[in-house]
Amino acid sequence: MRVDDHVLDAVRTDGFAVMEGFVAPAELAAATEGLFLEFPRPDDYFADPQKHERLTRHQFAGLRLGPHQSWDLNRLAFHPDLVDAAERFCGTSDVQLYKMELWAKYSGSIDYDQPHHRDYGNHSLVVPRRDLRWPQLTTFVLLSDVTEADGPTKVIPRAIGDAVPLVPRELPFGELFDHEVSITGPAGSLFLYTTDVLHRGSAMTGDQASRFALLADYAPKGLPWIGKMAWPQHALSPGWTEMVERMSVRERDLFGFPPPGHDYWDDQTLADTQARYPSMDIGPYRSLG
């Protein structure tokens, strides 16, 4: 579902927004099946938590960098409506997908409670501009229902949080807890926020609670101080080849693939790239620069 302008305006004004129904039911069902290629289903996990203790050794043990094994799951990170929202938020069609992660949380073994912090610390070498020039859009696609019992993200609206200096980026535990907003919603919801907004992970209080989300982050291209993942480092991951082969030219561009007409393309690189990705349509890249 297309992200309305008023949702993006809320991100600019409040620092965050939630949109229910972003992922269509059929897309969500297919992505959820892909999710459980990466993580145990809740029933399987809670039948024997010790068998899966690696997922709860610490707060971030359930994070998996993309790409993932499932095309349907990967595609949510560059869903056309998400790319469209990123382009409008960033004010340019020349955007990059600079991070894709999958996050699973299960209750009972680890305390997910955090102090409020800002994400720019590992998304930028410097600090965000307060006027939102050179913006970054960070997003969670909820792959499970999230209630107050499921460890929702807690956010401080800009009206309060902007009075707090950017440095240090983490507050003492408990500070501003009285002002936070819980990010809850049904599976298929989209949570959007910026890297300078104070937020935190919260404790999972439900019995046998679980929470799953796909994280996808965007920024304009050509900003070397912004980023989190170097895609070539992940180009040997399971799912990468299928993803590249099935993507459109525009979707590959989000990952930094040389565009048609670029000087990179010649007879040699066309032939060898085709050999690397046998099922990819190399035709659009034959328009040599």
| Within a domain: 85 | yes
Identity at 62, one-letter amino acid code: G
pLDDT in tens, 118-134: 999 999 999 999 999 99
Mean pLDDT of the chain, nearest integer: 96
pLDDT in tens, 202-242: 999 999 999 999 999 999 999 999 999 999 999 999 999 99
Spatial contact of 175 and 63, defined as CB atoms under 8 Å apart:
no
**How many structural domains compose the chain?**
1
pLDDT in tens, 13-53: 999 999 999 999 999 999 999 999 999 999 999 999 999 99
| Within a domain: 166 | yes
19/173 Cα distance (integer angstroms): 29
| Within a domain: 50 | yes
Identity at 237, one-letter amino acid code: S
Q: Which domain holds residue 82?
A: 5-230
- Identify the DSSP state of 115: -
pLDDT at 109: 87
- Identify the DSSP state of 257: P
Alpha-carbon separation of residue 224 from 32, 66, 100, 124 (angstroms)? 34, 21, 18, 9
SS3 content of the chain, % helix, strand, coil (to 5): 35, 20, 45
| Within a domain: 94 | yes
Phi, psi (rounded to 5 degrees) for 124: -155, 150
CATH number at residue 205: 2.60.120.620
